[in-house]
Amino acid sequence: MENNGKRTAIELNKEEFKLFFELIKNINLKDIFLSKEKIEIHEKRNNGSSTIKIELKIKTGNINLEKRKAYIEYTIKLREKNKIIYKQETEYIITLNIKNIDKVSEIIKNKKIYTFFIEKQLNKIVWPFLRVDFHNNLGRVGIRPVTLPLLK
């Protein structure tokens, strides 16, 4: 998970990774859409002449098996000279095709696998959409667009 530019390390042991692999074999992406977006502009300054710092974190992430949906929410702050000039809160809803809901339900009872799935798998699915939305939103509000880095 990204948190102020630092990635937290979530490690699965061999057995947990086998279960995680079973989980992703049983879940497919059906659709993804932006469900909420809140933008705050504090100062329009970013003219490209000073260093910009991006703070990004996954605010929440969860899965609702009954609705076959996953939710992931991000907060991004753009700072210039230690002042927040822009803040964006964004939520995406991912619609899932679930092959074996009982198996998926049992696997995600494991908190570590559940967190790993949200922070690694869902984040990778949503990341390209967040990058485009963030870049475009900056341009719309008159701030020089900044591109979020690729996930590794």
The domains located in the chain, with CATH, are 2-140 (3.10.420)
78 within 8 A of 33, measured Cβ to Cβ: no
What's the pLDDT tens digit per position in 48-60?
555 667 777 777 7
- In order of 29, 52, 57, 96, the CA distances from 135 in angstroms are 24, 14, 16, 26
Query: What is residue 146's predicted lDDT score, i.e. its pLDDT?
Result: 86
State the pTM of this model: 0.84
